[in-house]
Amino acid sequence: MKENIHPQYHKVVFMDMNSGFKFLTGSTKTANETIQWEDGNTYPLIKVEVSSDTHPFYTGVQKFTDRGGRTERFMKRYNMKGK
């Protein structure tokens, strides 16, 4: 490998903002926030919206947080009932 062209690889903590689930892994991403992990070390904290803890593929449950929009307006306009 060439010297000084690859990003620095280090340990970071990813935190799922929906469930609070956290895991420590290696990454080239950096962050301004830090968190103290279970081993007593401080690592960069990267917040994510979806992880394996909340993704429907892994959990088997799909959640709809917002059903508003075009479909709702269509149903209301034509006086139809949704499922």
The pLDDT value recorded for residue 66 is 52
* Band of pLDDT at residue 22, cut at 50, 70 and 90: very high
Strand partners, 46: 14
At residue 59, the pLDDT reads 60
Mean of the per-residue pLDDT values for the chain? 82
pTM here is 0.64
Give per-residue pLDDT as tens, 57-66: 666 666 555 5
- Contact yes or no for 56/37 (Cβ under 8 A): no
Q: What confidence category does residue 27 fall into, taking pLDDT thresholds of 50, 70 and 90?
A: very high
Query: Which residues are CB-neighbours of 53 under 8 A, at least 6 positions away?
Result: 16, 19, 21, 59
